[in-house]
Structure 1
């Protein structure tokens, strides 16, 4: 009997021909969930194939192997996060409101992308091996630094930011707090309760991160709970 010619297989084959981009997107969506939950070593191509609208053979056709699929998944989640930040138009804002908006956007994008957090944790276990291989991720990361650099330059020129304001340091400050807020939610809540992860708690933390970043570089900055609630 010739396997792979049943109704389900014929339907899948038709979908590949009709819309291959949709098929690849479906594979990446399911693979993102699998890699985020199981890690690179634990993820199983057979399980991913079962959940998609395609087959294991087509996964290999599009992405080469499991590591190739993981690489595409990683680039996709980085793109999603950075595109959210990049979409913000802060060039027309004064430096302080611009820095506030970028800080808020980074905090929000981390909260809204828990799979990104899990995949970055996994990638750190692998010593950033796949980030280093990527030609896309460094460009994505550079874009947010460039945006912060423009804000810093304008802020220094107008006298509202300290002369030692550094875009990379500001990104590190914002990302570290935003990342920890998501990555350590389970253990932090188990140890101290979940008051910081309620809607009100997250609103306050978001403002605290803004205060931390602006307080480090804005001359004469005074924390104000009414900012950007």
Structure 2
């Protein structure tokens, strides 16, 4: 047993020296699952180390302590979500189609990343204490508001958006049903059945959210005018 432990430690040291970024990414990947499943207080560095190619010492080297690792996990999941949004070329679309794309993409991205939703729920329990410490997340979050500012400005200039269309309000309105669709899935489906959470149910909900948002913003919009495919 002692020999196996020594070989494992040697292998970890070699990986650390040969590809430190890969080791760091592996730590973050495992830590994301652990924090999402168990929260900040429930997750243990010993468990994370055991499931990675890193030693406990390496984790502390990269992230200082458990709170530092948790904050890095938060920054990583926000970064991944915003990078996906940044790839949406809404500036090449009409304002109506651009807004519809942002709504649909947000709904689908939230549905596809339950870990992100769980971590945001956990951070809300902590009153966003660790999010406030981050210098990265506020800058990342600015990008989605800029996209909505561009869409709203063009929509108003073309006379197709109501003058009351507000980028920050729109982000709140788009995020709310997209978040609830994941955060309350377990309790909702237990209470009312799983129909809405199958492929067809999710497609219908995505269409409803698109119709709801565009109906608030686009002058003369009719439900189904822009289809979710």
What TM-score does the superposition give when structure 2 sets the normalisation length?
0.97
Given that residues 215 and 222 in structure 1 are in contact (C-alpha distance below 8 angstroms), is that contact kept between their aligned partners in structure 2? yes
Cα deviation code 1:101-156 (max 9, x no counterpart): 01111111101111000000000000000111111111111110010001000000
* Partner residue, 1:56: 56
* Partner residue, 1:224: 224
Given that residues 174 and 209 in structure 1 are in contact (C-alpha distance below 8 angstroms), is that contact kept between their aligned partners in structure 2? yes
* Partner residue, 2:43: 43
Matched, 1:73 2:48: no
What TM-score does the superposition give when structure 1 sets the normalisation length?
0.97
Given that residues 104 and 210 in structure 2 are in contact (C-alpha distance below 8 angstroms), is that contact kept between their aligned partners in structure 1? yes
Q: Secondary structure at the match of 2:91?
A: coil
Q: List structure 1 segments (4+ residues) > 6 angstroms apart after TM superposition.
A: 2-5
Q: Distance in 1 between matches of 2:90 and 2:126?
A: 35
Q: Secondary structure at the match of 1:165?
A: coil
Matched, 1:160 2:163: no
Q: Cα distance, 1:3 vs. partner? A: 9.4
Given that residues 27 and 52 in structure 1 are in contact (C-alpha distance below 8 angstroms), is that contact kept between their aligned partners in structure 2? yes
* Partner residue, 2:91: 91
Q: Which runs of 5+ in 1 are unaligned?
A: none
* Partner residue, 1:150: 150
Q: Cα distance, 1:86 vs. partner? A: 1.2
Q: Distance in 2 between matches of 1:75 and 1:207?
A: 30
Q: Distance in 1 between matches of 2:110 and 2:132?
A: 21
Q: Distance in 2 between matches of 1:225 and 1:122?
A: 37
Q: Secondary structure at the match of 1:53?
A: coil
* Partner residue, 2:203: 203
Residues paired across the two proteins, number: 228
* Partner residue, 2:82: 82
Q: Distance in 1 between matches of 2:156 and 2:194?
A: 39
Q: Cα distance, 1:90 vs. partner? A: 0.9
* Partner residue, 1:193: 193
Q: Cα distance, 1:226 vs. partner? A: 6.6
Q: Distance in 2 between matches of 1:116 and 1:47?
A: 21
* Partner residue, 2:16: 16
Given that residues 32 and 73 in structure 2 are in contact (C-alpha distance below 8 angstroms), is that contact kept between their aligned partners in structure 1? yes
Q: Cα distance, 1:194 vs. partner? A: 0.5
Given that residues 97 and 226 in structure 2 are in contact (C-alpha distance below 8 angstroms), is that contact kept between their aligned partners in structure 1? no
Q: Distance in 2 between matches of 1:157 and 1:175?
A: 25
Pairwise CA RMSD: 1.4
Cα deviation code 1:73-98 (max 9, x no counterpart): 00000011111111101111110000
Given that residues 211 and 223 in structure 2 are in contact (C-alpha distance below 8 angstroms), is that contact kept between their aligned partners in structure 1? yes
Q: Secondary structure at the match of 2:92?
A: coil
* Partner residue, 1:119: 119
